[in-house]
Structure 1
Amino acid sequence: MPRSPILSASRIRTAALHIIDRDGLDGLSMRKLASELGVQAASLYGHVSTKDDLLHEVAAGILEQVDVSGFDGGDWRHGLRSCARSYRAALAAHPNIVPFLAYGPAHREASLRRLDVVHGGLVASGWSRREATMIAAALMYLVFGAALSSFSSGFSEDQTFYRDRYPNLDKAHLLPAVARELDHDSFELALDALVTGLGARAHD
């Protein structure tokens, strides 16, 4: 039997994501990752060169869950909706890595492949290249905005905090209890407004 655990790229990514989920982005270090895997830090460098490279690989694994197949049938509305929903779900499962992903596609293959499908699907539906870029950007603003924070859970559960000072927010203390449902419905409202608004000026 080997004296130390056998490493693989997949095992390293899984352990790194576990640390990020548990301790946040700043909590990930090559030394901590090595300890989690039961190896020496030097052993990791045969699989990944730097922490930044590792983060890109972890991000790529998350992005593989983003579904852009909705553009295959030529229905850009369905494509945008399915892409946005699957993207939000992927990010919601690992919120601590969202700030890293929010910097844009950079040179991540998984990001660029999906963006290429979205852009191509929009242009094929009659949108100009500039419009397609703007629509993709707007979709990312919506998805990452939803993933970075919870509007509903940010309120205090103390009714007295709002009742006398903010009469129109007298029920705001109830929001944290229904945050998950309300955040979902708010995202769907914004997504529908985006797609419907674009539909009003569509070329098809």
Structure 2
Amino acid sequence: MARPRRPLLSRARIVAAALALVDADGLEALSTRRLAADLGVSGPSLYNHVATKDELLDAVVDAVLGEVDLSMFPGPSWRASLEAWARSYRAALAAHPNVVPAIGQPRGGRPNALRLADAVFGGLVDAGWPRREATRVGALLRYFITGSALGTFAGGFPDDAAVYAGAYPRLDQAHLLAGRQREIDAAAFETGLTALLDGLELRFAAVRARPV
């Protein structure tokens, strides 16, 4: 029997093509018509694998979350585990910046999102964090990581020195920020992560000192 000219359509192939489309052209470019064209198939054939556009978007988001390393949980140090996980999470979002707005609008039923939550929550509880506190810590880190990936601080400053002359005297070096965008964003993330973890160390000590 002769082989088909095109690879057989599968959910995994559809999701991979959808992610590539979003990476290249943004969330607004994602449509079943465009995706079918990219895959070289008819639109209705997609619905045998993905019922709706919302389901497709959920699958794309979940594919990105599946790139986050969770191997540090469980670990001997909750702080070291959170630190490594946060960096891996940020790296996954940095690789797919166009997907980040959809990650910031969580929906239930994303398997990798649930695995991520289970790993972080479980790692904290196993380390001695009360369940309520562990939930709050997980939410806090998620807000910080996804928020840091939504935009760039340095990108908000034009590289024209004349913009700041006179009107904004304390921003006389701000025109240099745009050229150091990656460096500034990475350093800001590390500064924030360290500050959060330092604060959580103090909170953990206080929680452990509470009478049972």
TM-score calculated relative to the size of structure 2:
0.91
Q: In structure 2, which of residues 78, 81, 91 is the aligned counterpart of residue 79 of structure 1?
A: 81
Q: Secondary structure at the match of 2:167?
A: coil
Instruction: Give the Cα–Cα distance (whole angstroms) in 2 for the partners of residues 2 and 123 of structure 1.
Output: 51
Shift of 1:71: 2.7
Contact (CA 8 Å) 1:74, 1:124: kept in 2 or not?
A: no
Contact (CA 8 Å) 1:105, 1:111: kept in 2 or not?
A: no
Residue ranges of structure 1 left out of the alignment (5+ in a row) = none
Contact (CA 8 Å) 1:71, 1:78: kept in 2 or not?
A: no
Over the aligned positions, Cα root-mean-square deviation in angstroms equals 1.5
Opposite residue 185 of structure 1, the aligned amino acid is A
The 5-angstrom pairing of residues 19-168 of structure 1 reads 19-104=21-106, 106-168=108-170
Instruction: Give the Cα–Cα distance (whole angstroms) in 2 for the partners of residues 30 and 151 of structure 1.
Output: 34
After superposition, what is the alpha-carbon deviation per residue over 1:45-76, rounded to whole angstroms, capped at 9, x for unaligned? 11111111111111221111112222322311
TM-score calculated relative to the size of structure 1:
0.94
Instruction: Give the Cα–Cα distance (whole angstroms) in 2 for the partners of residues 4 and 202 of structure 1.
Output: 56
Instruction: Give the Cα–Cα distance (whole angstroms) in 1 for the partners of residues 109 and 103 of structure 2.
Output: 12
Instruction: Give the Cα–Cα distance (whole angstroms) in 1 for the partners of residues 5 and 65 of structure 2.
Output: 34
Contact (CA 8 Å) 2:66, 2:112: kept in 1 or not?
A: yes
Residue ranges of structure 2 left out of the alignment (5+ in a row) = none
